[in-house]
Structure 1
Amino acid sequence: MDKQYTYLLINFLTVLFPVALSFDKRVAFYKNWKFIFPGLFLSGCLFLVWDYVFTLTGVWTFNPEYIVGIYLYRLPLEEILFFFTVPFSCIFIYACLNHYFNKPMPLGPGRYVSFALMGVSLVLVLVFRGSVYTVVTFSLLLALLFYACFILRVTFLNRFYRAYLVSLLPFYIVNGLLTSIPVVLYNDAENMGARVGSIPLEDHFYLMALLLTNLLFFHYFKKK
């Protein structure tokens, strides 16, 4: 296979099993698609604006050897697809866990974890205020958690954190490939410089913000 299809193939494999297993009779994930796709579009628009600005300012760049060369506003086609394939797959994990482990969960632990994350996010924003990726990532996460906890008072935070932890398994495969090949190259002047393997620490919380955004939209459209 020509290596220019690398990022496209990673996207395809990311979403392959969630789509194929959507029609399993037990979870019947396909029935939720009508609630998921509007949120994917809205969150995709939000994160793609962020992505575009970061690409424009050199926070990260894309290795032309591993992309097909189709761009929209300087963003490779594969990067645009990323904001649909990854959250779709994470919501699939969320739905499966909720189906197979459906005992009621106390609200307290999820809220305490959220409070701790808000505190850590605030500290990191202040300490690394000169690093754009760090500041934007943790500012967004802080705002999302505050909105979820104090404005919406959502009751699914425990299930969200459970799905997030499980999502880290495929995350390490996907982002590990993207950052080690590398398909995506990071400017370490704009992040903390801390990595798990080849993956910037911020990416873990970027995923958390992306998943939480999509779940907020998912539950909103499901209630309408």
Structure 2
Amino acid sequence: MERYEYLLLMVGCLILTAPLEILGAGVYRQARRTAAAIIPVALVFIGWDLIAIAGDVWSYNPRFVSGIDIGIMPVEELMFFFVVPLCGLLTYSAVSTILGWMSRRRSEHRVSR
């Protein structure tokens, strides 16, 4: 099971944050906007990673990765650059929505006094 820890961590992040789609502004429902936010940054950091891997600046412990590589990069590392920002967007969207609800409730409460 050790071999799939990184992969399971990425899947777990997606599963845990998926319900936040219901609370937020619809990160999954705004696919183009989500892609525009994630892809440019992911490409920069994927490039950075590829340079570091090729230059032996860092590597990945084979005990904790699946062994599935895309080029010289473990699939888990590639997933990281899309999964973590996506989870961040889901969380940000949900928290913003909840804070908006709370702010409106406070405003309504002040008005009704």
TM range (shorter): 0.7 to 0.9
How many angstroms apart in 1 are the aligned matches of 2:16 and 2:97? 17
Cα offset, 1:70, TM superposition: 1.4
Paired positions, count: 100
How many angstroms apart in 1 are the aligned matches of 2:58 and 2:19? 32
2:66 partner SS: coil
Matches within 5 A, 1:58-69: 58-69=56-67
Q: Which has the larger radius of gyration?
A: 2
RMSD: 1.7
How many angstroms apart in 1 are the aligned matches of 2:34 and 2:18? 13
* Identical-pair percentage: 25
Residue segments in structure 2 that go unaligned for 5+ positions in a row: 104-113
Contact 1:8 1:67 in 2 (8 A): yes
Q: Could you tell me the TM-score, scaled by structure 2's length?
A: 0.77
1:27 lines up with 2:24 in the alignment: yes
Cα offset, 1:83, TM superposition: 0.4
Structure having greater relative contact order (Cα 8 Å, sep ≥ 6): 2
Contact 1:52 1:75 in 2 (8 A): yes
How many angstroms apart in 2 are the aligned matches of 1:63 and 1:34? 35
2:56 partner SS: coil
How many angstroms apart in 1 are the aligned matches of 2:38 and 2:73? 18
How many angstroms apart in 2 are the aligned matches of 1:95 and 1:59? 35
Q: Could you tell me the TM-score, scaled by structure 1's length?
A: 0.41
How many angstroms apart in 2 are the aligned matches of 1:27 and 1:53? 36
Cα offset, 1:50, TM superposition: 0.4
Matches within 5 A, 1:26-175: 26-29=23-26, 30-102=28-100
1:17 lines up with 2:3 in the alignment: no
The ranges of structure 1 where at least 4 consecutive aligned residues each deviate by more than 4 angstroms after the TM superposition are: none
Contact 1:52 1:73 in 2 (8 A): no
Residue segments in structure 1 that go unaligned for 5+ positions in a row: 104-224
How many angstroms apart in 1 are the aligned matches of 2:36 and 2:67? 27
